[in-house]
């Protein structure tokens, strides 16, 4: 690309902490945030989850908003992550009318809907929460906390939502529609999707073990992350430092099944290939892949096949960071993008926790902490319905 797109700010909140500093420490120390359920009200206490260790009221206090304000956990998580990203990129309120915001979510305000649904049907109690059920309203709640953005929209492609928000933002910058677009995703845990995933029998009642022979499903998590995408020219003009370059991205559809991936990982293969092609890189140039690696038998096998098809004998180190955070669904693409940026900046490969035995026909992930200088890293995010996306991040000082 002639005018590269750089990341000039990033912010994250997940089970391993609020903000990039605690996140980096947890990743380097191999400290997982997955554990017994505390905040979500559900009968399913048997499933470990990656909860953000704060109640809604505590988040409101941190954000300086009234706990009585009409909001949702998805929106609050989004505000926490967006705050860090905007500050890092030195973006002030007066600049927002020239900046776009694209978020990804699927759950949206379902945390409130599932609590108040009987009221909605039978009486007027809590009716003010009806307006924050849909995905777009959650993005607007998050956006309005900071000011008036020039453009606001929401991607909803299940577990690749945030990744697709990143792709759309990058296309806007390449088209010259904006110099800066803030992109990412936010998703809270809900009884609705915990039960949904349980009904599909893809939750593990032990800590998830991606790419392990004994893997038996995923752990759900929650969180949010945003990246400030900016044309290199604009970043230079503003005198803000680039954290990494978004050098390529791909989106393809597996077109196989509503909730399962094809054996050969067609969608995943195409998405990764497109990302490499756009960046003008060869498989041998990739130093690390942050896999989607949910820990379900189906995903890890399908993703392994896709990586093998593309990389052959040049398989780079691979790990899934889902054992740290749980599967943060719609937010996973941007949360893991932040992990990749940290890995590039600090020269390490996050360990694939909980791994002990190779799976049949699978890749062997990085299972011990590894300090390594990285140049190019791929980050995968795949969603139900075969909505597969891949992002390629490159170190700034090559």
Partner 1 sequence: MENKTLYVLSAKQISVQQPLSEEWMTQPVLYQTPYNRCIDPSFKDYVSPIEARRMGKILKRAIATSREALTASGLTEVDALITGTGYGCLENTELFLDALTTEGEQLLKPTHFMQSTHNTISSLVAIQMKNHGYNATYAHKGISFDSAMYDAVLQMRLGKINSALVGGHDELTENFYHILKKGGMMGHDDEMCAEAAVSVVIGSQGSNSLCKLVDFKILHQPTIEKLKNITTKYKADYILTGISGNHSKDEAYLAEAKELFSGAALLKYKHLFGESFTSSGLGFYVAAHCLKEGKIPAHLFVDPTDKTDRKPANILVFNRSDGTNYSLALLEA
Q: Are 152 and 100 in contact (CB under 8 A)?
A: yes
By CB under 8 A, the residues from 111 to 130 that bind partner 1 are 113-114, 117-118, 120-121, 124, 127-130
Residue among 193 and 209 whose Cβ is closer to partner 1 = 193
Q: How far is the CB of 102 from partner 1 (least distance, A)?
A: 9
Q: Which stretch binds partner 1 (CB under 8 A): 27-35, 46-54, 357-365, 385-393?
A: 385-393
| Binding-residue total with partner 1 (CB under 8 A) | 71
**Quick one: which of 162, 112, 164, 156 has its CA closest to 135?**
156
Q: Are 362 and 214 in contact (CB under 8 A)?
A: no
Q: Does 39 bind partner 1 (CB under 8 A)?
A: no
Q: Are 218 and 197 in contact (CB under 8 A)?
A: yes
Candidates 217, 223, 293, 383: give the one binding partner 1 (CB under 8 A): 383
How many CA atoms lie less than 13 Å away from 1 in the CB half-sphere? Answer: 24
Site pattern 248..287 for partner 1 (x: CB under 8 A): ---xxxxxxxxx------xx--x-----------------
* Gap between the Cα atoms of 174 and 171, Å rounded: 5
Q: Are 181 and 143 in contact (CB under 8 A)?
A: no
Q: Does 137 bind partner 1 (CB under 8 A)?
A: yes
Which DSSP state fits 214? T
Q: Does 213 bind partner 1 (CB under 8 A)?
A: no
**Quick one: which of 180, 173, 224, 150 has its CA closest to 90?**
180
Each residue of 246-278: b (16+ CB within 10 Å) or e? bbbbbbbebebeeebbbeebbbbbbbbbbbbeb
Q: Does 234 bind partner 1 (CB under 8 A)?
A: no
Q: How far is the CB of 267 from partner 1 (least distance, A)?
A: 7
CA R_g for the chain:
19
Contacts of 397 (CB under 8 A, 6+ apart): none
Q: Does 386 bind partner 1 (CB under 8 A)?
A: yes
Q: Does 48 bind partner 1 (CB under 8 A)?
A: no
Q: Positive or negative CA dihedral for 359, 162, 386, 47?
A: positive
Site pattern 141..160 for partner 1 (x: CB under 8 A): --x----xxxxxxxxxxx--
Q: Does 45 bind partner 1 (CB under 8 A)?
A: no
Residue among 168 and 245 whose Cβ is closer to partner 1 = 168
Site pattern 181..200 for partner 1 (x: CB under 8 A): ----------xxx-xx-xxx
Q: Does 230 bind partner 1 (CB under 8 A)?
A: no
Q: Does 95 bind partner 1 (CB under 8 A)?
A: no
Q: Does 136 bind partner 1 (CB under 8 A)?
A: yes
* Gap between the Cα atoms of 21 and 252, Å rounded: 33
Q: Does 332 bind partner 1 (CB under 8 A)?
A: no
Q: Which stretch binds partner 1 (CB under 8 A): 49-57, 172-180, 298-306, 363-371?
A: 172-180
């Amino acid at each position: 690309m002639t005018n590269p797109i750089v990341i000039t700010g990033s912010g994250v909140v997940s089970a391993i902490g609020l903000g990039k500093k605690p996140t980096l420490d947890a990743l380097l120390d191999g400290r997982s945030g997955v554990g017994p359920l505390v905040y979500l009200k559900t009968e399913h206490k048997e499933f470990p989850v990656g909860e953000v260790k704060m109640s809604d009221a505590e988040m409101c206090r941190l954000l300086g908003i009234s706990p009585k304000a009409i909001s949702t956990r998805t929106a609050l998580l989004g505000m926490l992550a967006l705050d860090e990203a905007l500050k890092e990129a030195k973006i002030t309120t007066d600049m927002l009318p020239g900046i776009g915001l694209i978020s990804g979510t699927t759950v949206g305000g379902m945390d409130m809907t599932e609590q108040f649904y009987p009221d909605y049907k039978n009486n007027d109690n809590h009716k003010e929460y009806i307006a924050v059920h849909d995905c777009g309203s959650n993005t607007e709640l998050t956006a309005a906390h900071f000011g008036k953005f020039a453009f606001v929209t929401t991607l909803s492609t299940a577990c690749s939502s945030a990744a697709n928000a990143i792709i759309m933002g990058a296309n806007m910058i390449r088209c010259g529609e904006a110099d800066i677009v803030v992109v990412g995703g936010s998703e809270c845990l809900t009884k609705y999707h915990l039960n949904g995933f349980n009904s599909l029998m893809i939750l593990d009642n032990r800590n998830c073990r991606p790419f392990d022979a004994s893997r038996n499903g995923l752990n759900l998590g929650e969180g949010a992350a945003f990246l400030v995408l900016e044309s290199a020219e604009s970043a230079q003009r503003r005198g803000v430092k680039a954290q990494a370059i978004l050098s390529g991205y791909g989106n393809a559809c597996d077109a196989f099944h509503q909730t399962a991936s094809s054996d050969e990982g067609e969608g995943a293969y195409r998405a990764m290939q497109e990302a490499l092609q756009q960046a003008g890189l060869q498989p041998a140039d990739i130093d690390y892949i942050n896999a989607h690696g949910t820990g379900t038998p189906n995903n890890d096998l399908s993703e392994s096949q896709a990586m093998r098809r593309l990389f052959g004998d040049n398989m780079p180190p691979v790990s899934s960071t889902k054992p740290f955070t749980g599967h943060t669904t719609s937010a996973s693409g941007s949360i893991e993008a932040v992990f990749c940026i940290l890995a590039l900046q600090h020269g390490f490969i996050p360990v694939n926790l909980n791994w002990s035995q190779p799976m049949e026909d699978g890749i062997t992930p990085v299972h011990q902490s590894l300090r390594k200088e990285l140049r190019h890293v791929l980050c995968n995010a795949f969603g139900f319905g075969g909505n597969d996306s891949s992002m390629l991040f490159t170190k700034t000082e090559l």
